[in-house]
Structure 1
Amino acid sequence: MPNNQTKALLHGSMMVAIFTLLMLISAYVPFIRIVSLIFAPLPIAWYSANYKRSSSVFVAVVGCILTTLTTGLIMLPFAFVLALLGVVIGNAINQKKSKLYLFMSSGVAVLLSMTIVYVAYVQFTGINMINISMELFRESYEQSNELTKTMTGQEAFQPELIEALLKTVELTIPAIVTLSAFMTAFIVMTFNLPVLKRLGLDVPKFPPFQHMRLPRSILWYYMIVLCINLFMRPEAGSTLDIIVLNVSYVLWMLLILQGISFIHYLISKKGMPNAVKWIATLLALPLSSFMILLGIVDLGFDVRSLVKGKTKE
């Protein structure tokens, strides 16, 4: 037992040192800042995958404290988010969880930690960055309009259109933050899991993107949102309207990904080169409505079996 405790303490000290070093690089070396931030959860994740949860949390807390002492408060929010993400990833690997659980838990961890950081920032500073950003966007549009009007005599954007756009952005901030959190978790996992595997950990394997199948319950959520919009018609700006709008954006993004996944599957079955997949993905972005429809069809019907059968023939 003493040997195990000594080993855990030694490994914990090493992981804290590596984590703090990566945060120092992020703070003072701008050229590789993004790279060091992406790999910052790696030492915490490795430790969390090999030792019990309480020890992992303690290592993460010490890493955040040392980061604050060496870089100042400016890096504490990043250290908190990334350390928590490392603990969640490592704990999921330690418990042999599925790849879906790993992704969902990581995304929720990033979302919750970002929310805590933002609320704490507003409470301590009294500065609401969202409101400030909206005002900066509004001023930028107004200046662009004035410049265009001076040069051409016409306004580039109608004031009503600008206000409607800013209002939409403001109302959909929860969806934007949610999608950003899960995208952050996905990027971190994409780069860190192969390294953890090389370090001897049994990490869950993610299937190719072309085989991605979302839960069919997504269709039920989508139908519920459609029914609320068609029959209840919530008042603009109400709580229900904000909830439905944000859920709609998240569901649309998921269905677009499902549609693109089906396109990749079809291209692969036809034996086309990978370059065609990239071209199809770029062309799919402006055709989001069609991709949503394709995602619904792919989830609701067994279209892939039909494609597979025709390919065999």
Structure 2
Amino acid sequence: MNNTNTLRLTEGAMMTAFFAVLLLITVYVPFALIVTGFFLLLPFLWYGVKHSIRASLVMFLASVIVTGIIAGLIAVPIAVAYGITGILMGWMVQKNIEKSIIFLISTLVFVISAVVQYLFSILLFEINIIEELLRLVGESVERAITVYNAAGIDTGNLQEQFAQSLIAFETLLPSLLIFSSALLVWIMMIINFPLVKRIAKKDMPKFDAFRNLSLPKNVIWYYLIILLTALIASPEQGTMFAYALINLQFGFELLMVLQGLAFIHFYGHLKGWNKGLLVILTILGVLINPLTRILGIIDLGFDLRKRMTEKK
């Protein structure tokens, strides 16, 4: 029993130190976040897979304290976001929960953590990250416009496009936050799950093939209801109702694009296309997403995959 406790404490200290090193590199090395951001989850996931949830929480608290000491309070939200997500992932792996469910729950936790970090920065440091970002972008655009004007280039359209882009960004911020969090969690799972499997010698859940991805049938009806509501109600721009409606529409459009891409992979598998061609078609599908979205609607609404499978 003592040996077990000693091993648990030793591994907890090792993972805490490993996370501290990664965090220091992330905070103090310029642009390191582009790489290290995908591995900050690893110490918590590895420890969470091997040990109980109680031991994992102790390791998490130790990491938060160490983070506050070596990097300051401003880095604590980073430790909280990655720590909670990693420990939760490890616990769900222990419980043999499906990888798709792990992905959805982890994304939700990461989104909540991001919102808490945003509120934390405002309340404690009186720093509004979004406003600062928009200010910096605005200053960059103003400098560019000044240069263009000095060169005799008309910037009237550029200013209008920039103003519209800012409005669109502020309006779609909730959807963009969810989408970016889901993408980050998905990439972290792809990178870290094989590493944990190799290092910890634990079986890790796998995603089903992307070609088999299919949304519930109800999704298309929700999407149609939102579209009809937007057409009939014509909400006034700037109201909370319009704000919610635009974000819902954008979110469901992304889901339809995902459905369309999954159908392309299904059809390619059915025809025996090579992976290189599927990669090219996926990129084209993202670039011409309106057509991909229509394909996803048709696939979901008319059971294209079932019909094609039965026909074959």
Q: TM-score scaled to structure 2, two decimals?
A: 0.90
Answer yes or no: is 1:103 the counterpart of 2:95.
no
AA aligned to 1:189 is M
C-alpha distance in 1, partners of 2:42/2:127? 32
Answer yes or no: is 1:307 the counterpart of 2:308.
yes
Give the match for residue 216 of structure 1: 217
Give the match for residue 195 of structure 2: 195
Structure 1: where are the runs of 5+ without partners? Answer: none
C-alpha distance in 1, partners of 2:97/2:226? 31
Contact preservation (8 Å) 1:145, 1:157: no
Please report how far the alpha carbon of residue 16 of structure 1 lies from its aligned counterpart in structure 2 after TM superposition: 1.8
Contact preservation (8 Å) 1:145, 1:156: no
Answer yes or no: is 1:289 the counterpart of 2:301.
no
Please report how far the alpha carbon of residue 221 of structure 1 lies from its aligned counterpart in structure 2 after TM superposition: 2.5
Deviates more, 1:47-56 or 1:177-186: 47-56
Contact preservation (8 Å) 1:255, 1:292: yes
Please report how far the alpha carbon of residue 161 of structure 1 lies from its aligned counterpart in structure 2 after TM superposition: 3.8
C-alpha distance in 1, partners of 2:19/2:149? 52
AA aligned to 2:297 is I
With over 3 angstroms needed to count, the CA separation of the structure-2 counterparts of 1:28 and 1:50, relative to structure 1, is same
Q: How does 1:30-41 map to 2 (within 5 A)?
A: 30=30, 33-41=33-41
Give the match for residue 137 of structure 2: 137
C-alpha distance in 1, partners of 2:10/2:248? 46
Contact preservation (8 Å) 2:25, 2:32: yes
Please report how far the alpha carbon of residue 249 of structure 1 lies from its aligned counterpart in structure 2 after TM superposition: 1.6
C-alpha distance in 1, partners of 2:41/2:153? 54
Give the match for residue 118 of structure 2: 118
C-alpha distance in 2, partners of 1:223/1:4? 57
With over 3 angstroms needed to count, the CA separation of the structure-2 counterparts of 1:294 and 1:31, relative to structure 1, is same
Runs of 4+ in 1 over 6 A off after TM superposition: none
Contact preservation (8 Å) 2:92, 2:102: yes
AA aligned to 2:264 is I
* Alpha-carbon displacement from aligned partner over 1:53-83 (angstroms, at most 9, x marks no partner): 2321221121121123223344323222211
- Identity rate, percent: 31
C-alpha distance in 1, partners of 2:137/2:220? 35
C-alpha distance in 2, partners of 1:98/1:180? 22
Deviates more, 1:243-252 or 1:217-226: 217-226
AA aligned to 2:55 is S
Give the match for residue 260 of structure 1: 261
Deviates more, 1:55-64 or 1:23-32: 23-32
Contact preservation (8 Å) 1:145, 1:155: yes
Give the match for residue 236 of structure 2: 235
Please report how far the alpha carbon of residue 190 of structure 1 lies from its aligned counterpart in structure 2 after TM superposition: 0.7
Q: TM-score scaled to structure 1, two decimals?
A: 0.90
With over 3 angstroms needed to count, the CA separation of the structure-2 counterparts of 1:162 and 1:304, relative to structure 1, is same
Answer yes or no: is 1:184 the counterpart of 2:181.
no
Contact preservation (8 Å) 1:134, 1:170: no
Deviates more, 1:203-212 or 1:145-154: 145-154
Give the match for residue 24 of structure 1: 24
* Alpha-carbon displacement from aligned partner over 1:176-209 (angstroms, at most 9, x marks no partner): 1111111111111110111222222232111222
C-alpha distance in 2, partners of 1:62/1:83? 11
Structure 2: where are the runs of 5+ without partners? Answer: none
Give the match for residue 76 of structure 1: 76
C-alpha distance in 2, partners of 1:298/1:305? 9
Contact preservation (8 Å) 1:106, 1:185: yes
Give the match for residue 169 of structure 2: 169
SS of the equivalent of 2:188 reads helix
Equivalences, count: 311
C-alpha distance in 2, partners of 1:110/1:5? 31
AA aligned to 1:250 is G
AA aligned to 1:304 is R
Please report how far the alpha carbon of residue 153 of structure 1 lies from its aligned counterpart in structure 2 after TM superposition: 4.8
SS of the equivalent of 1:308 reads helix
C-alpha distance in 2, partners of 1:61/1:221? 42
Please report how far the alpha carbon of residue 5 of structure 1 lies from its aligned counterpart in structure 2 after TM superposition: 3.5
C-alpha distance in 1, partners of 2:98/2:308? 28
Please report how far the alpha carbon of residue 121 of structure 1 lies from its aligned counterpart in structure 2 after TM superposition: 0.6
Deviates more, 1:47-56 or 1:225-234: 47-56
